[in-house]
Structure 1
């Protein structure tokens, strides 16, 4: 069976914590916009188009990622870059929205 996110497993406190972390990562990505530009130019990840279900598909190019994993600071930039990219692709999301989407997908 495929793995599914279970929002109820996190509980209200866990969901609130996840939402605070996500918001902090988005703020960090916005504050570090200039630092993230080289990752855009390097083509570390890109939107390849929709998958068979019509969802946006993001490709992470492994051969271009390694140079962004050399230090804690560069890994942080990579994380912020990916959070920003995925937020743009999926639209503003919250842990609660993710849990609701997973529940709906599992029920279908």
Structure 2
């Protein structure tokens, strides 16, 4: 999906899968999912069908096909934490992902 982030072939190439993969790409940089990705993971399915995943990072991440990168640092009050990210097709309830919730 993205550098060093893979999904099984049976996973759909949809915004939900791309958003979770994008988070795995940027989590080591304290990145967060943003925009339509954040909306979808918070339960609002309002994105256009071919929307790219969106992330917010402080630095050092570039866009890839299917991914839009914004640069900045969210305020802690703007973050929502969710548990239950699916990694490698298996539930990983101990993994939290951070969502920009503006």
Q: TM-score range by the shorter chain?
A: under 0.3
Report the TM-score, using the length of structure 2 for normalisation.
Answer: 0.25
Which structure has greater strand proportion?
Answer: 2
* Structure of greater relative contact order (alpha carbons < 8 Å, 6+ residues apart): 1
